[in-house]
Amino acid sequence: MKLGIFDPYLDTIGGGERYAMTLAEALLKKGWQVDIFWPDGEIKEKLIDKFSLDIERVNFVSYSPRVNNLFKKISFERRYDLLFYFSDGSTPAMFGKKNLLHFQVPFQKVGGRKLSNRLKLKRINKIVCNSFFTKNIIEKEYGVKGEVWYPPVSVEDFSSGKKENIILAVGRFEKSLTEKRQDILVETFKKMVNKGLENWKLVIAGGCSDDENKNEILNNLKKIAQDFSVEIKVNLPFLELKELYAKSKIFWHAAGYGADEEKSPEKVEHFGMTTVEAMSAGCVPIVINKGGQKEIIQNNKDGFLWETSGDLIDLTEKVINDDKLMSSISEEAVKKSRNFSKKKFYEKIYNFIG
């Protein structure tokens, strides 16, 4: 049996790429041949290092589904028992025996219902989305019925350690559709320190694919964090990131701050994998009340949702000043994180392939 995967964003090596590579790992375990449609096979080691997945046996095939020759496309793709493509807003023509189309971005105003798209969608067996937030928007835009397969998080790889007075934020230091807004977190932390917060530090970890010294987001964060107990960690190895989660007490997230999620849904977090990672390590999540985060957190039970910087300060102080509350939320967060495990993701895949 053969699986073909196409992810046009593969070289960003982010959450969507973990999604695709976990699918690859799942079917490799079932004895499938897995081909990744990408011209540069050297990216494999980067993917393995980043995600710690067992994908050594995947093949990299220099093929683009965007090929203009329809006969060549049909001839090539019909060899595959299953094709799994990421949409970049467009609707691909897919010719596998079974075809899965994944939306990780809630695209709007891309002509989803035009005739050519409706014809191509007839060949797609299932539309898969990373959250109900994404699904609801995609269904309206394309006139389809989707199904939610939450992104797989390796929750079993994380555990709570000896906790320190650390507030952690994790997110890429890059301008993209969804900006992580680490600047808001730094400014909020500074306000807390100026109000009297002592013996706590804010650690911001994330990836950066370009020159750190020329990265505008990083340079701005370093500038506004000067003279405060703020540490910025760039491109941490997975093991070091795990250790950081393990010893952090609180997790902050601000992606989509200032964005209107109805008018610009692409600007907020579509799911929130780092939030789940933090929860699995016993961090108390205090995250913005937007996008997919609302599907992860049950407010006041396994975490907290905030709207304004003032809310974030109040909720954080509430947790810091109540050890019993912190312990209770931490325990519930660990339990909740299991709902988004790799095992659950495997079950979705295996049920689909039969």
DSSP string for residues in 17-41 = HHHHHHHHHHHHTTT-EEEEE-S-T
Across the range 155-177, mean pLDDT stands at: 93
Chain position carrying tokens 């980043």: 50
Residues of the chain with pLDDT > 70: what percent?
A: 100
User: pLDDT digits over 63-111, tens only?
Assistant: 999 888 999 999 999 999 999 999 999 999 999 999 999 999 999 999 9
* Cross-strand partners of 5: 36, 84
How confident is the model over 152-162, as a mean pLDDT?
95
Average pLDDT for residues 198-204, to the nearest whole number?
A: 98
Question: Does domain 155-339 sit in CATH 3.40.50.1370?
Answer: no
- Kindly report the number of other CB atoms within 10 A of residue 147's CB atom: 12
Taking the C-alpha atoms of residue 245 and residue 158, their distance in angstroms, rounded to an integer, is 8
pLDDT of 176 above 80:
no
Mean pLDDT of the chain: 95
Residue 321 pLDDT > 80, yes or no? yes
pLDDT at position 210 over 80: no
Q: Is the pLDDT of residue 115 over 80?
A: yes
User: Residue with structure tokens 């390590």?
Assistant: 281
Helix axes 323-337, 273-280, angle to 10 degrees: 120
For residues 42-68, give the mean pLDDT: 93
- Give me 255's structure tokens: 């992606």
Give 207's pLDDT tier (boundaries 50, 70, 90).
Answer: confident
Strand partners, 3: 34, 82
CATH topology of domain 2-152+341-353: Rossmann fold (3.40.50)
For 195, the 3-state DSSP assignment is helix
Outline which parts of the chain fall under CATH 3.40.50.2000. Answer: 2-152+341-353, 155-339
Partners of residue 35 on adjacent β-strands? 4, 59
Sequence-separated (6 or more) residues with CB below 8 Å from residue 128: 100, 101, 102, 103, 146, 147, 148, 149
Residues 6+ apart with CB under 8 A from 251: 167, 168, 169, 170, 274, 275, 278, 279, 283, 284, 285, 286, 287
Distances (CA, A) of 199 to 184, 227, 282, 320, 347: 21, 14, 20, 11, 44
Mean pLDDT of 223-243: 94
Residues 6+ apart with CB under 8 A from 73: 65, 67, 93, 95
Q: Read out DSSP for 289-353?
A: SSTTHHHH--BTTTBEEESSHHHHHHHHHHHHT-HHHHHHHHHHHHHHHGGGBHHHHHHHHHHHH
The tokens describing 77, both together, are 């793709």
DSSP secondary structure, 55-99, as one string: -TT-EEE---TT-S-HHHHHHHHTT-SEEEEE-SSS-----SSEE
| Tens of pLDDT, residues 246-301 | 999 999 999 999 999 999 999 999 999 999 999 999 999 999 999 999 999 999 99
pLDDT of 140 over the 80 cut: yes
For position 12, what pLDDT does the model report?
85
Q: What is the pLDDT of residue 153?
A: 94
Give the integer Cα–Cα distance in Å for 202 and 186: 8
pLDDT at 345: 96
